[in-house]
Chains A and B, each alone.
Chain A
Amino acid sequence: MGMTIVQKILAKATGQASVKIGDVVEPRVDVAMSHENAALVINQFLEIYSGTGLEPNVWDPSKIAIIFDHRIPAESAKTATNHKKIREFVVAQGITKFHDIRGDEGGICHQILPENGYIRPGYVVVGTDSHTTTHGALGAFSFGIGATEMASVWTLGTVLNVEVPATIKVVVTGKLSGFVSPKDLILHLIGKISAQGANFKVIEFHGETIKNMSTSGRLVLSNMSVEAGATAGIVPPDEETVRYLREVAGVTDDIEMVLPDADANYERIVEIDASKLTPQIACPHTVDNVKPIEEVVGIKINQIVIGSCTNGRLDDLEIAANILRGKKVHQETRMLIFPASWKIYKDALSQGYIMDFISAGAVVMNPGCGCCLGVHQGALGDKEISLSTTNRNFKGRQGNPNADVYLCSPAVAAASAITGVITDPSKGVN
């Protein structure tokens, strides 16, 4: 019996010829990522060392990545003090993959890691963020952990007691046409298998639609796999992966392709015909409450959000700019745009997209998590409705438990900004 991609990666990361599903293993870690919650990781890390008589030194400072993104620039003295504490730790430990609040290198952690060539196929990546699944788009086994578990990784360089997970194979065929995007595909999948459909399991994405999809689109699929409960969402690496790593991420050294065996054992196979999809909308308050746009068109929207680690990349901004160019955001709605990184921001600036947005009446915010998790900017008023390209619509997610969040693609968000109501971009907005 062959192995799935996650079995292959875990076998390699534990120095074994093979591992079985359900085995308990202790894989070595290639990248350990944190954001502002590194403040808590530092506490726990020092706690592990306390009383041991040993110097608290991280196992390998070159493998730790820390990116400030959740609340930047700091919204409070408390956050600013956390930032300061982390900066001091970074210097003391010699951590190199550190991205501070800077226009030349900053952005959302899940964009910074791929963009800077920190992720490779076959890597084991852990992050103190549930959307660490994102990096599976480049063929890594990448999953979210808590702060104490990260402190343990900083100490030992391995993740303790990982059970080799079973895998669901998702096979996508057919062309995504018109305004239908990878976001619609993943929302459809989550609606189909439910918010817990892949709990404790890995999703492997296969099929011609995935083969033909850019890395930017694949990042959307892996990013939101966690919304179906998945431990990881992995796209087996191919020529497109290599192209992205060489051309966008600037990787020059060898790239090792780790691929699943043809006779791997999958727990379940889910097939999707992408050509049949229309734009999909996740309705309040769960991500699996997904409806085709036909069922929700016309709902009045108070705030439109384009951005986040899900849909804040250049191709997302391009689609939105093409729809908004020369038009106006509806008077009774407001539009917030936050690119996923400063690199994307600068590219969007030189393409003229930023000017298109501002001229239309949108507010372009600094790259970062922005209003995605409701701690910083763009909170909603009572009974207001947000239509957002982010990845979660839980009660309270955008800062107000008495507000509603709908999730959609960038094209739907842009078309709806013009009309002020949920609008199918393929139906025109004039």
Chain B
Amino acid sequence: MTSIVIAKFGDDISTDTIYPGRFMATVLPTETPQYAFMDETELNAKLNNKRVPPNSVIVANNNFGCGSSREQAASTLKGWELIIVARNFARIFLQNSINLGLRTIICPTIDANENDELEISETEIINKTSGKKFAIEPLPLARQAIIDAGGLIAYTKKKLLEKSGKN
């Protein structure tokens, strides 16, 4: 699958940048996408003008998603069907993304710029623009189980039915 990098960020991109606190009263996943990167006006406009196809990529360095536990930060990006590739993620953001099915890829050496074309497989990313390859760090098994179940709602539903003897 080939994806285009629509934005490139440095370290410590906080949930206040991804989804500013002033929109936190909005909770429905159908309503949160419009506020993604609200204060990064160019990127927000790009998304809202629907100039971004699904599976487009945001690339970041370390600690992407640091800060608040607000789940809107994951649902807003999931709404645009983006893929987030970062050197590493903040814990709560990563967990929220996995729970909601936002594709997050840990790629400790990733090097890519806006408009680069990436070929993403299970194990590596090929930057077709620069010709360089980068290994993907597999998610811990514990998290993979949630992805395999189709997200945390489905995973919990299964556990609930087991527990109540309905399954």
Contact = CB atoms under 8 A, between A and B. Distances in A.
In the complex, which range does the number of interface residues on chain A fall in? 35 or more
A161 B155 CA distance: 11
Contacts, number: 155
B69 A144 contact: yes
A351 interface: no
A161 B142 contact: yes
A44 B28 CA distance: 10
B146 interface: yes
Contacts of B156: 48, 151-152, 155-156, 160
A401 B16 CA distance: 9
A27 B78 CA distance: 29
Nearest to A71: B25
Interface in B1-29: 11-12, 14, 16-17, 20-22, 24-28
Contacts of B95: 145-146, 149
A127 B92 CA distance: 11
A36 to B, nearest CB: 8
Interface string A8-45: 00000000000000001000000000001101100110
A152 B16 contact: no
Nearest to B144: A161
A370 B72 CA distance: 21
A374 B14 contact: no
Nearest to B63: A196
B90 A37 contact: no
A347 interface: no
Interface string B47-72: 00000000000000011001111110
Given A130-B68, A147-B27, A156-B160, 4 more contacts: A51-B157, A78-B25, A160-B152, A375-B24
Interface of B: 11-12, 14, 16-17, 20-22, 24-28, 39, 62-63, 66-71, 74, 88, 90-92, 95-96, 99-100, 140-143, 145-146, 151-153, 155-157, 159-161, 163-164, 166
Interface of A: 24, 36-37, 39-40, 43-44, 47-49, 51-54, 70-71, 76, 78-79, 82, 127-130, 132, 144-149, 151-152, 155-156, 160-163, 195-196, 199-200, 229, 231, 286, 288, 373-375, 392, 394-397, 399, 401
